Every structure is written in structure tokens, then in C-alpha cells.
């Protein structure tokens, strides 16, 4: 394929606005996949079980297709981007391999927070934007109103907007034509030294890591010896080809093309997203702006049965080997359970805190048990800082008050807001709210709260805003005087009493009575913040006091204990796995 018939593009869309459906239609229309029999609507590009169940795209999936226009065959490379709120950074790096993007907006829902942030990334990268209104088949669709919204939010000319139904297929042909007509071909030099931009990676049980690349210059062939600009490691290309939509070996990738390379990389951690690959002996300047991705949310994982530890370690290794991007804790847990059959306890998520010392050095801490005791007068710590983010929330006006309340309760600052629909009637107006908020306040249940307090109408996105000094402390929970590592938390001092009391109450509720009295305490340093006492359970009074239900439950627990399953022993106290889940769900 000569360069001028190649188009590299992606689809920007808020979750559920129809990105996967449109991708499937495009693949069908170009004959890349067969049209599905009716009744089945499992999307081709959403491969993992968890993606199908949750309807979110976790891994970016890329596919090439061929389409004829004016008697000329065009090679269209669709670079799929994850649409879930936690994956904005993956979206941004996939865009680096594109010259254009479809901005897909649900005509019944309107513009949402994530579309706005990704739109700005795409704009900054100089991508051509093709605005597309989807779901025009829906009776609730308001194409004119949403088109006006796109004009006021994105500065888009309504005349450029395509109206389609990805579901029925109406107008989808016009999308392919617009991709060909409006998006420029990639600019590449065939004769320059080979240069490939690595924008994603997959894992294959047999072939190891598969890198997805965009050839910026030159040609790469099977058997070529290549090197990474970032790691300086060398490899030999064992297989090279395009995603059509599965891997199809072509033995060669030409300038402007998007495809895959298998080169015996053993671990995903060798495939650095944003890295540049070149032929050994023919160095090239790396693509600018490469930053090794940095984890911002951490959690501890404990096996329920400690003899499972080696197996768990192996499973996690495998999973991270195949997918370092699985940042979403629920997704990670579900994949561990689905694919590796693991029985685990995951601690509350935590963020990397920055500890500044009096001698001028600093350190990042993400494990609460390593957090310094600030009440210790001999401490060498001068200051603790926490990561903050800039958040945008879009919400219908009637929920605005609730959103403000939620944000303030999460220590948000610098609230600012404006109307999204300029000049439209007040009854259906939406507001965009921006604020600075500690990352730790949004990694737990913020998103769920946002959704439930706005009847599902609010949308949310955030970006990194650096670090800020904060008054934080480590809270530990003691059962029978013994600290439980899996429950250690870092809390803001203003919330310590509320959190301490709430957790202690919750522990009291979920921990089964033992044969002896168990004090449950929350402490900061040496100071006990909250306490509850779990009274002893004497076998002879159990039936009378607690009734048959409790007895059955106890018996049930005993049975489980006999099976040496699902019970975690902490100090002298047995904790059922469910108790942990209950507590950690907050
Ligand atoms: P994604 O999250 O952006 O990938 O969205 P999906 O493609 O999974 O679509 C979300 C839901 O919207 C699914 O139930 C689709 O069947 C539905 N959907 C997608 N496009 C259309 C459309 O044009 N019309 C209607 N009525 N439903 C659509
Ligand atoms: Mg999808």
C-alpha cells in the first residue's frame, strides 16, 4: 500500500456511546469480519471475559481494514482506545499513532466529561477530528441540540457532523468515506532508517509479548535485528504482520502502517509504551515525550490461605506479564479470579505519598505499613505530600448541589463551574464543574457515589495535578491488641475520628464472635481513636442468646474452617474472607 492510501485513526467516545458497535460495523462493512447472525451482539474488539461482562474495553485493540473509494483501495487502521474513566493515559498514547479521530457522541446523551478531555488531547496532537452523532435511531435522540452542544463545547461546525446509527448501520458508510477524505495520510520516509513507534502490547502464551507498532519511517521485515531506544535491548523479529482483525503475518511492515511484531520479548515490562524501535546499527532519534508509565494507585493482595502464596505470586506475575495496564482494581481482581482461580483479599487502594526529610531527601511510599509515625518527636520527616488531580464533572443542573457536597466532603478545592449548553432552556441545562481533589479521595468509591447521587447522569474525568502538602497519618486497626496489616490506612487528620469510628463499627459487625472477648481498636501512633469490644461467645449460651440463625452461621464457619478455606487467622482471631470484603468495600 502506497502511503497516500493509508489512514490511521481512532474513535473517541464516552463509555456506552457506541464505540465498539461502530468498530464492528466498520469491520463488517469492509469485509474484515463476517456480519454476525442476529441475536449475537458480542463485540469483536472487546475480547476479555471481563470486558464483555462489564461492557468496558480494558485493552486497546487495533484492527486494519481495506476499503475501496473512487476505484482506489485504502488501508484503514483503526486504533481502538479504552473508554473507561481510569484509562485516559492509554487513550492519549494510542492517539500518538493516529492522524485523525472520530469523535463519537450519543445523540440522546450529549457530550460527556471523558470525550472532552480526550478531545483536547487529540486537538493538541494536531489530529483531524471527525464529529459523529450516534444512535440517531433512538426516539430520545436530539441531534440538533447535541450538535449545538458540540459546536459550543468543541468549536465544531455543525455542517461537518455525520449522523449515524451504529446499531442499524445507517450512515456508517459515510464514516468510512470521511476517514478517507478528511484525515491526512501519515507522513513517512520510506528511505530513512526504520523507526517504529510502540503504542501497545499484547501477550500470547506461545509467542510471548506482541508489540503493536506504527511504522514512522523505513521498512521492517521478518528476521530484522531491532533495538529499543529506551532499554537498548536487542531482539530479532520472529513474526511481523497486521491485525486483520487477528494477527495475520505479512513478513513486512511498510511506512505508515500499523501492525504487530513478535520478537521473543519475555515480559510485558520490556515493551515500554511510547518507546521507539529501530534496526540494530541504524539508530534513530526516539519519539519525543516518552515517559515510562507511573502507577498512581496501589493495593496489597493477600491469599486467603497462606499456603497459596507461591501460586498467587505466580498468577500475579503472569497477569502483569500479559497486561500491565490492568490498573482497575476490580478488573484486576476479577481477572485473577476468572483466569487464575485465585482466592484473595485485596486491601483498600492507596496512592503514592511523597515523604520529605529534614536532610532534603525524599521518598515515595505506597504501602501504608511503611508510613512514618508523625507523632514521634524524633521524626526525621519534615513534610508529607499527597498526589492531587484536576477533576471535571459534567452534571445536569438539578444535581449540581449534590455534586458540590460530594466534592467538598472529599476535600475538593477551587471549585469552578459553568453552563455547557450556552443559551439553552434552563430545565435541561448541564453544568461542568472543575476542582482540585486529592487522588486518594477518588480511588475508592468516588465514581460510584457520583453515579448514585446523580441518578447515573454525572460524568467524570481527571488529570494529574502534581503533589500538595497534606496533614496525613497512618491508622492501624488492632484485633486483640495485634495490628492487622491488610487493614492499615492512611487518613487525613480532619477525617480520622469519623473513619476510625466507622471502621471499628464495621469490623465489630462483620467479625464473628470468638470464644474470648476481642477488643477492636483504631489507633494513630500510640493513640487509640476508636474502640469496640466483641463480647465472648460461650457455646452453652449461644443458642439462647443469638437464636438458630447465629448457630447455623457459626456451624457454617466451623465447616469452612475444617476445610481450611476462606478463613484468615490474624493473631488469635479468625476472620472470614467475606468480612474482609465487607470492610474493604467501605
Ligand atoms: P462503547 O462503550 O462505546 O463501546 O459502546 P457499545 O458499542 O458497547 O454500545 C453501548 C450500547 O449502546 C450497546 O447496548 C449498543 O447496542 C448500543 N448502541 C450502540 N450504537 C447504537 C445505535 O446507533 N443505536 C442504538 N439504539 N443503540 C446503540
Ligand atoms: Mg466498548
- Report the atom number in ligand 1 closest to the C-alpha of 24: 7
Q: What local confidence, expressed as pLDDT, does residue 386 receive? A: 96
- Report the atom number in ligand 1 closest to the C-alpha of 164: 23
Q: Please give the distance, rounded to the nearest whole angstrom, from the Cα atom of residue 137 to the centre of ligand 2.
A: 19
Cβ neighbours of 489 (radius 10 Å): 21
Phi, psi of 533 (to 5 degrees): -120, 125
Q: What local confidence, expressed as pLDDT, does residue 213 receive? A: 94
Nearest in space to 63 (alpha carbons), one of 258, 273, 323: 258
CB 118 within 8 A of CB 14: no
Q: Please give the distance, rounded to the nearest whole angstrom, from the Cα atom of residue 414 to the centre of ligand 2.
A: 34
- In angstroms, the CA 407 to CA 80 distance is 32
CB 422 within 8 A of CB 414: no
- Find the helix packing angle between 113-124 and 88-95, rounded to 10°: 30
Peptide bond into 409 cis (omega under 30): no
CB 79 within 8 A of CB 10: yes
Nearest in space to 482 (alpha carbons), one of 460, 514, 443: 514
Cβ neighbours of 124 (radius 10 Å): 10
Block mean pLDDT (10 aa), the chain, length 586: 93 87 92 67 53 48 90 93 51 83 94 82 91 97 94 93 97 97 95 92 80 94 96 95 92 96 86 90 83 68 71 76 57 74 74 94 90 82 93 91 94 87 62 93 85 86 89 92 85 93 88 83 94 77 42 52 46 60 58
Q: What angle do CA 332, 456, 168 make, to 5 degrees?
A: 85
Cβ neighbours of 579 (radius 10 Å): 19
Q: State the alpha helices, DSSP H only, in 201-345.
A: 309-322, 329-340
Which residues in 135-286 belong to E strands, given as ranges?
A: 162-163, 195-204, 208-217, 220-221, 225-228, 234-236, 239-243, 247-249, 252-253, 258-265, 276-279
Query: What is the value of ipTM here, to two decimals?
Result: 0.99
Q: What share of the chain is helix, strand, coil (3-state, %, to 5)?
A: 30, 30, 35
- In angstroms, the CA 460 to CA 90 distance is 17
Phi, psi of 293 (to 5 degrees): -65, 145
Q: Whose CA is nearest to atom 18 of ligand 1?
A: 18
Cβ neighbours of 159 (radius 10 Å): 6
- In angstroms, the CA 161 to CA 209 distance is 39
pLDDT digits (tens, 9 = 90+) for 22-32: 998 999 999 98
Q: What angle do CA 45, 48, 53 make, to 5 degrees?
A: 100
Q: What local confidence, expressed as pLDDT, does residue 481 receive? A: 87
**Closest ligand relative to 16 C-alpha:** 1
Residues, beta carbon < 5 Å, ion ligand 2: 20, 57
506-510: which pairs have CB atoms within 8 A and are 24 or more residues apart? 506/582, 506/583, 507/477, 507/479, 507/532, 507/579, 507/583, 508/532, 508/534, 510/578, 510/579, 510/582, 510/583
Q: Please give the distance, rounded to the nearest whole angstrom, from the Cα atom of residue 12 to the centre of ligand 1.
A: 14
- Report the atom number in ligand 1 closest to the C-alpha of 104: 3
- Report the atom number in ligand 1 closest to the C-alpha of 21: 7
Q: What local confidence, expressed as pLDDT, does residue 57 receive? A: 44
CB 576 within 8 A of CB 557: yes
State the DSSP code for 475.
E
pTM here is 0.72
- In angstroms, the CA 102 to CA 111 distance is 14
DSSP letters, 169-203, are -TTHHHHHHHHHHHSPPPP-BTTSPPEEEEEEEEE
Task: Give ligand 1 pocket residues (Cβ under 6 A).
Answer: 13, 15-21, 55, 83, 134-135, 137-138, 165-167
State the DSSP code for 53.
H
Q: Please give the distance, rounded to the nearest whole angstrom, from the Cα atom of residue 332 to the centre of ligand 1.
A: 25
Q: What is the CA radius of gyration of the chain?
A: 27
Nearest in space to 14 (alpha carbons), one of 136, 103, 79, 108: 103
Amino acid at each position: 500500500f502506497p502511503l497516500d492510501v493509508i489512514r490511521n485513526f481512532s474513535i473517541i467516545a464516552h463509555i456506552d456511546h457506541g464505540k465498539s458497535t461502530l468498530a464492528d460495523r466498520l469491520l463488517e462493512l469492509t469485509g474484515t469480519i463476517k456480519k454476525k447472525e442476529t441475536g449475537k451482539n458480542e463485540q469483536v474488539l472487546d475480547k476479555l471475559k471481563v470486558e464483555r461482562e462489564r461492557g468496558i474495553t480494558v485493552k486497546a485493540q487495533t484492527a486494519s481494514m481495506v476499503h475501496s473509494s473512487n476505484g482506489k483501495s485504502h488501508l484503514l487502521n483503526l486504533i481502538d482506545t479504552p473508554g473507561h474513566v481510569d484509562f485516559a493515559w492509554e487513550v492519549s498514547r494510542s492517539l500518538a499513532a493516529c492522524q485523525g479521530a472520530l469523535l463519537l457522541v450519543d445523540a440522546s446523551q450529549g457530550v460527556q466529561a471523558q470525550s472532552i478531555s480526550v478531545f483536547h488531547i487529540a486537538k493538541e496532537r494536531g489530529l483531524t477530528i471527525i464529529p459523529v452523532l450516534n444512535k440517531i435511531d433512538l426516539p430520545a435522540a436530539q441531534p440538533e441540540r447535541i450538535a449545538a452542544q458540540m459546536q459550543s463545547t468543541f468549536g465544531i461546525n455543525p455542517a461537518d457532523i455525520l449522523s449515524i446509527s451504529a446499531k442499524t448501520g445507517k450512515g456508517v458508510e459515510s464514516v468510512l468515506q470521511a476517514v478517507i477524505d478528511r484525515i491526512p495520510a501519515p507522513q513517512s520516509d520510506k528511505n530513512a532508517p526504520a523507526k517504529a513507534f510502540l503504542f501497545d502490547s499484547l501477550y500470547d502464551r506461545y509467542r510471548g509479548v506482541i508489540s503493536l507498532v506504527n511504522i514512522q519511517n523505513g521498512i521492517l521485515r521478518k528476521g530484522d535485528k531491532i533495538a529499543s531506544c529506551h532499554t537498548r535491548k536487542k531482539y530479532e523479529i520472529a513474526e511481523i504482520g497486521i491485525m486483520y482483525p487477528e494477527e495475520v503475518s505479512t513478513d513486512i511492515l511498510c511506512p505508515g502502517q500499523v501492525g504487530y511484531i513478535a520478537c521473543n520479548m519475555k515480559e510485558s515490562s520490556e515493551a515500554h509504551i511510547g518507546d521507539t524501535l529501530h534496526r540494530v546499527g541504524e539508530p534513530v532519534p526516539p519519539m519525543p515525550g516518552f515517559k515510562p508509565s507511573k502507577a498512581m494507585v496501589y493495593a496489597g493482595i493477600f491469599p486467603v490461605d497462606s499456603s497459596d502464596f507461591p501460586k498467587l505470586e505466580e498468577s500475579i506475575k503472569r497477569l502483569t506479564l500479559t497486561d500491565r495496564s490492568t490498573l482497575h482494581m476490580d478488573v484486576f481482581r476479577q481477572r485473577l479470579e476468572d483466569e487464575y482461580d485465585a482466592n484473595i483479599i485485596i486491601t483498600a487502594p492507596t496512592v503514592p505519598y511523597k515523604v520529605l526529610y529534614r536532610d532534603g531527601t525524599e521518598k515515595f511510599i505506597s504501602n501504608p505499613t511503611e508510613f512514618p509515625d508523625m507523632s514521634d518527636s524524633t521524626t526525621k520527616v519534615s513534610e508529607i505530600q499527597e498526589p492531587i488531580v484536576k477533576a471535571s464533572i459534567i452534571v445536569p443542573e438539578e444535581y449540581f448541589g449534590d455534586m458540590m457536597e460530594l466534592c467538598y466532603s472529599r476535600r475538593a478545592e477551587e471549585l469552578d463551574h459553568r453552563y455547557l449548553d450556552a443559551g439553552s432552556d434552563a430545565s435541561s441545562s448541564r453544568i461542568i464543574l472543575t476542582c482540585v481533589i486529592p487522588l486518594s479521595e477518588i480511588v475508592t468509591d468516588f465514581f460510584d457515589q457520583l453515579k448514585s447521587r446523580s441518578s447515573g447522569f454525572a460524568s467524570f474525568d481527571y488529570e494529574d495535578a502534581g503533589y500538595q502538602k497534606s496533614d496525613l497519618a497512618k491508622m492501624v486497626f488492632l484485633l486483640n491488641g495485634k495490628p492487622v496489616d491488610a487493614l492499615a490506612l492512611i487518613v487525613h487528620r480532619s477525617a480520622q475520628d469519623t473513619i476510625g469510628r466507622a471502621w471499628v463499627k464495621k469490623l465489630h459487625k462483620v467479625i464473628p464472635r470468638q470464644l474470648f472477648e476481642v477488643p477492636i481498636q483504631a489507633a494513630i501512633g500510640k493513640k487509640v481513636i476508636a474502640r469496640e469490644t466483641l463480647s465472648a461467645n460461650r457455646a452453652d449460651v449461644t443458642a439462647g442468646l443469638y437464636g438458630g440463625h447465629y448457630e447455623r452461621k457459626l456451624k457454617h464457619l466451623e465447616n469452612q474452617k475444617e476445610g481450611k478455606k476462606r478463613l484468615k487467622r490474624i493473631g488469635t482471631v479468625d476472620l472470614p474472607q467475606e468480612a474482609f470484603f465487607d470492610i474493604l468495600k467501605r
